Amino acid sequence: MTPQLLLTFVAVFAVARIALVVQRVAAGGTRTRSLTVAREWLDTFIFAGLGAWLLITFVGRTYYIPSGSMIPTLEVHDVLLVDKVEFRFRQPRYGDIVVFPPPIPSPDDFIKRVIGVPGDTLRIKNGIVYRNGVALAEDYINQKPQYDMEIRDYGIWVNDGFGWHKVDPADGNIPPKSMWTAPNRIPANCYFMMGDNRNDSVDSHMWGFAQDTGTFATGPLAGKPAWFTGRAFTIFWPISHAHLL
């Protein structure tokens, strides 16, 4: 449930609670057993709803996995707990599984793994990811990527078997040269995100960089606020798949 939907329910209960007060006044202040019980239940729902709203808005929330982009780490229909506080005190780190709004139109937040952080060099060659020149040992992936990728010349270049092409700034978040510290290093506040199901994941090799702050520089959501919702830290449903991430 989203914070907005929960707040809507609380508002409905509050309106019903006010209606009971108006009804009692209209009845000359007469208090009946049924009105008392209804008022107590509505008060409980309102205070519980406000408490839950505060928690999912500022502390944590649940997240439902709608796709297979993070298989085998996350399965379709898994329900996660997401910590919304941690990134207020530290920057995202390698390997964090993060929920965030992507720089492309989407009805839902995305969930991907942090592979590259600001200042990193990054490339993919023959199915191996190299970060700052070091090959990553990725025992969590479903399959090796069937494409090559390089961050160079102030952009993200991909070869998916049909020759090299650059991710078009019109299609994704590729900051202008002025925001890069070097032509082959990830810009400030930008992160390269990948799904563990590498060949079935709409991720940074398609739409550019996620951001932890500021606004998207380019793409269909240019100028819109960018942030990281939080870090997924546990699967709690289904019980058979429950574990810490």
Distance in angstroms (rounded) separating the CA atoms of residues 52 and 72:
31
Q: Which of 34, 67, 69, 201 is labelled catalytic?
A: 69
> Phi, psi at residue 88, to the nearest 5°?
-80, -15
Q: Would you call 34 a catalytic residue per the annotation? A: no
pLDDT for 76 equals: 95
Distance in angstroms (rounded) separating the CA atoms of residues 95 and 56:
24
- What DSSP letter does each residue of 207-229 carry, written as one string? HB-EESSSB--SSTTTTSB----
pLDDT for 103 equals: 97
Can you give the residue ranges of every domain in the chain?
3-58, 61-244
What residues of the chain score a pLDDT lower than 50?
54, 59
pLDDT for 7 equals: 63
CB 209 within 8 A of CB 192: yes
pLDDT for 237 equals: 83
pLDDT for 38 equals: 65
CATH topology of domain 61-244: Umud Fragment, subunit A (2.10.109)
Cross-strand partners of 55: none
Distance in angstroms (rounded) separating the CA atoms of residues 166 and 138:
25
Q: Would you call 112 a catalytic residue per the annotation? A: yes
pLDDT for 62 equals: 81
pLDDT for 81 equals: 85
CB 234 within 8 A of CB 243: yes
